[in-house]
């Protein structure tokens, strides 16, 4: 028997409860993993609180990320004792996920733990950190090098934003951070941000083109802030958009694209191909400073997840939250 957080639905409401399960209760997938850590992402917050339509069927064990040790495997690619990372692939949405001491998973969802990485570190990074790295890679692909100018990060004190600030700063970029919380200013400066902007000023309705300020941008919030970022992006600048913490709309015009050659690059980590995923995990080893990880993560147990989930939706969480199911 082992512990898992189980979501059920009653009268249209999502209920989250720590339950004892048996290994035979787990879905019949190829690889059995003993989970060392999972993590809390905005999407997990939506799932656990029932705020967003994230969960496809109930009962569901949420947790879109996990890292742990292979216990049994019917796949030739993995053997007992292997350390693995799993993020995305709709786990915790369609398939049972990481808020559990054990999980059964498809082998193609698993990435071998890179040498130098461990379960705790990989889950401090998690889907949020992987997404941040993919956003940085998108800026690089668009030719945005540190000498081009400042890169702005929105939702900067959140999971994706905080890792993005730390990586960009380590790579030598000048980083501006947009945050709604003044209380996070010292934290963001410690991660390497040198300019701090308020959410309010960035959410003000922008004209189709504003004064050029940003060589590049990593946007985790969408809506009016993304529209302003686009209007303020330099000629041939690149904006990597990955999130909707502020809303899914994009009230913009074609002007930044057709007059300033601005590129809006979408970033998705869920279905990201394995070769790019592996490349990103390896980059995280070198490009995310070890010192930033300690500041970025805090840890909760399974029974504390529902409160932490409510906090992430309320925008009260700073950095990353690890989930220790043991
Ligand atoms: P967090 O909740 O940790 O961070 C989001 C941050 O956005 C908050 O900390 C806050 O930052 C800011 N924010 C919150 N509400 C608002 C608002 N109403 N208006 C403007 N800013 C707001 O979430 P994650 O970092 O885990 O995820 C960020 C976004 O990225 C989410 O929308 C998530 O769904 C998406 N995402 C997408 C992925 C992909 O593959 N495309 C993968 C991972 C995440 P501050 O306090 O600094 O203002």
**Of ligand 1's atoms, which has the minimum distance to the CA of residue 247?**
18
**Of ligand 1's atoms, which has the minimum distance to the CA of residue 188?**
47
Ligand 1 lined by 127 (C-beta under 6 Å)? yes
Q: What is the pLDDT of residue 292?
A: 84
Q: Mean pLDDT over all residues of the chain?
A: 96
- Of 134 and 274, more confident: 134
Residue 282 forms part of a structural domain:
no
The ipTM of this complex is 0.99
Residues 63 and 87 in one domain: yes
d(CA 67, CA 70): 10
Residue 275 forms part of a structural domain:
no
d(CA 218, CA 231): 14
- Residue 297 predicted with pLDDT over 90: no
The DSSP letter of residue 73 is: E
Q: What is the pLDDT of residue 286?
A: 93
Q: What is the pLDDT of residue 294?
A: 77
Residues 163 and 57 in one domain: no
Residues 143 and 237 in one domain: yes
For a mutational test of ligand 1's pocket, the pick from 53, 153, 221, 224, i.e. the residue with the most ligand atoms closer than 8 A to its C-beta, is: 221
Residue 55 forms part of a structural domain:
yes
The DSSP line for 164-187 is HHHHHHHTT--EEEEES-GGGHHH
Residue 222 belongs to what domain range? Answer: 127-266
- For range 269-285, the mean pLDDT: 93
Q: Which residues are paired to 287 by β-bridges?
A: none
Residue 97 forms part of a structural domain:
yes
- For range 103-111, the mean pLDDT: 96
Residue 221's CATH number: 3.40.50.720
pTM assigned to the model: 0.95
Ligand 1 lined by 319 (C-beta under 6 Å)? no
**Band of pLDDT at residue 307, cut at 50, 70 and 90:** very high
Residue 119 forms part of a structural domain:
no
Residue 314's CATH number: 3.90.180.10
pLDDT in tens, 213-241: 999 999 999 999 999 999 999 999 999 99
Ligand 1 lined by 246 (C-beta under 6 Å)? yes
Ligand 1 lined by 199 (C-beta under 6 Å)? yes
Q: What strands lie across the sheet with 151-154, from one edge to the other? A: 193-198, 175-179, 151-154, 214-219, 233-241, 263-266
Ligand 1 lined by 244 (C-beta under 6 Å)? yes
CA 243 / ligand 1 centre spacing (Å): 6
Residue 224 forms part of a structural domain:
yes
Q: What is the pLDDT of residue 16?
A: 98
Question: Whose CA is closest to atom 10 on ligand 1?
Answer: 155
Residues 168 and 299 in one domain: no
CA 130 / ligand 1 centre spacing (Å): 14
Residues 109 and 156 in one domain: no
The DSSP letter of residue 154 is: E
- For range 181-206, the mean pLDDT: 97
Residues 134 and 203 in one domain: yes
Alpha carbon separation from 104 to 37, 128, 234 (Å, rounded): 15, 22, 47
Residues 88 and 163 in one domain: no
Rounded percentage of the chain residues whose pLDDT exceeds 70: 100
CA 216 / ligand 1 centre spacing (Å): 18
CA 196 / ligand 1 centre spacing (Å): 17
Domain finish residue from 250, 266, 282: 266
Residues 242 and 311 in one domain: no
- Residue 244 predicted with pLDDT over 90: yes
- Residue 14 predicted with pLDDT over 90: yes
Residue 197 forms part of a structural domain:
yes
Per DSSP, the three-state class of 151 is strand
Q: What is the pLDDT of residue 296?
A: 76
Is residue 41 within 8 Å of 93, Cβ to Cβ?
no
Least confident residue range of 99-103, 129-133, 231-235, 289-293: 289-293
The closest of 233, 227, 222, 93 to 158, measured between CA atoms, is 222
Residues 199 and 259 in one domain: yes
Residue 279 forms part of a structural domain:
no
- For range 105-118, the mean pLDDT: 94
Residues 233 and 317 in one domain: no
Residues 228 and 303 in one domain: no
For a mutational test of ligand 1's pocket, the pick from 127, 160, 300, i.e. the residue with the most ligand atoms closer than 8 A to its C-beta, is: 160
Cβ neighbours of residue 218 closer than 8 Å, sequence gap 6 or more: 132, 135, 136, 139, 151, 152, 153, 154, 160, 161, 164, 168, 240, 242
Residues 72 and 138 in one domain: no
Domain count of the fold of the chain: 2
Q: What is the pLDDT of residue 208?
A: 98
**Band of pLDDT at residue 38, cut at 50, 70 and 90:** very high
């Amino acid at each position: 028997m082992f512990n898992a957080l189980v979501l059920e639905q009653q009268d249209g409401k999502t209920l989250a409860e720590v339950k004892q399960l048996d290994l035979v209760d787990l879905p019949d997938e190829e690889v059995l993993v003993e989970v060392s850590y999972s993590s809390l992402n905005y999407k997990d917050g939506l799932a656990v609180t029932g705020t967003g339509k994230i969960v496809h069927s109930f009962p569901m064990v949420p947790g879109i990320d996990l890292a742990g040790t292979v216990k049994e495997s019917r796949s030739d690619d993995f053997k007992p004792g292997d350390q693995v990372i799993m993020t995305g692939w709709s786990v915790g949405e369609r398939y049972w996920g990481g808020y559990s001491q054990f999980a059964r998973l498809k082998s193609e969802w698993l990435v071998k733990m890179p040498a130098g990485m461990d379960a705790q570190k990989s889950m401090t990074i998690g889907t949020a950190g992987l997404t941040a790295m993919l956003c940085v890679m998108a800026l690089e692909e668009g030719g945005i090098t540190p000498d081009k100018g400042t890169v702005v990060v929105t939702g900067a004190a959140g999971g994706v934003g905080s890792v993005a600030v730390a990586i960009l700063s380590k790579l030598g970029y000048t980083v501006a951070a947009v945050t709604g919380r003044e209380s996070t200013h010292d934290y963001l400066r410690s991660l390497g941000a040198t300019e701090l902007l308020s959410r309010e000023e960035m959410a003000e309705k922008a004209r189709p083109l504003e004064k050029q300020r940003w060589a590049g941008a990593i946007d985790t919030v969408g809506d009016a802030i993304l529209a302003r970022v686009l209007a303020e992006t330099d000629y041939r600048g690149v904006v990597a958009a990955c999130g909707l913490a502020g809303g899914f709309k994009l009230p913009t015009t074609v002007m930044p694209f057709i007059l300033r050659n601005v590129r809006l690059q979408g970033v998705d980590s869920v279905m990201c191909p394995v070769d790019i995923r592996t490349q990103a995990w390896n980059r995280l080893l070198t490009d995310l400073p070890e010192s930033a990880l300690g500041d970025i993560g805090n840890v909760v147990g399974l029974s504390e997840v529902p409160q932490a989930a409510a906090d992430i939706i309320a925008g009260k969480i700073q950095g990353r939250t690890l989930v220790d199911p043991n």
